[in-house]
Amino acid sequence: MPEMSDDERALDRLASERDIRNLIARLAHLADDGDIDEYLDMWTEDSSWSAGDGVQHTGREPRRARVHAHRADGTQGPGTNSRHLNTTLWVAFDDDDHARAESYFLYLRDASTAPHVKMTGRYLDRFRRTPAGWKYDGRQIVLDVN
């Protein structure tokens, strides 16, 4: 594959940043009211996910179990009226195939009746370019202490 020019590399970075921003937004939509398989397809097979409570999952099937558990307990998913909101997002590239992003989040409950902020924090995300496009390679959730 021929070397990219500076202009081509700049355009690739812009397109990649757009793709990563869309990935972050889509993940929030899917967590609140979407298809679990589509949600899982947004992650690399060996990606990791860790929460502020010390819970960590690596790989697709542990992540699937976590999503099912959150849907069963009413934390997220269709009918829960939850909303994951991201804001103040920045994206940085480590190289052509690896990136990271940081954003603040607000987690709302009862969004359709009496919205209230249940939790806030920060997402520390890692991404890897794959043959299928950019995917999550890891997410660390840092909760704000209330």
Interval 44-95: pLDDT, tens: 999 999 987 777 889 999 999 989 999 999 889 998 999 999 999 999 999 9
109 in Cβ contact with 116 (< 8 Å):
yes
Count of structural domains within the chain: 1
φ and ψ at residue 75, rounded to 5 degrees: -70, -40
Residue 4 is classified by DSSP as P
Please report, for the domain that includes residue 138, its CATH number.
3.10.450.50
Q: Does residue 63 belong to any structural domain of this protein?
A: yes
Q: What is the largest CA-CA distance in the chain?
A: 56
Residue 146 predicted with pLDDT over 80:
no
Computed over every residue of the chain, the mean pLDDT equals 93
pLDDT number for residue 56: 87
pLDDT band of residue 104 (cuts 50, 70, 90) is very high
Locate tokens 């997402």: which residue? 123
Residue 97 structural domain: 6-143
pTM for the complete prediction?
0.92
Q: Does residue 51 belong to any structural domain of this protein?
A: yes
Q: Does residue 1 belong to any structural domain of this protein?
A: no
φ and ψ at residue 9, rounded to 5 degrees: -65, -40
107 in Cβ contact with 120 (< 8 Å):
yes
Locate tokens 């409570």: which residue? 53
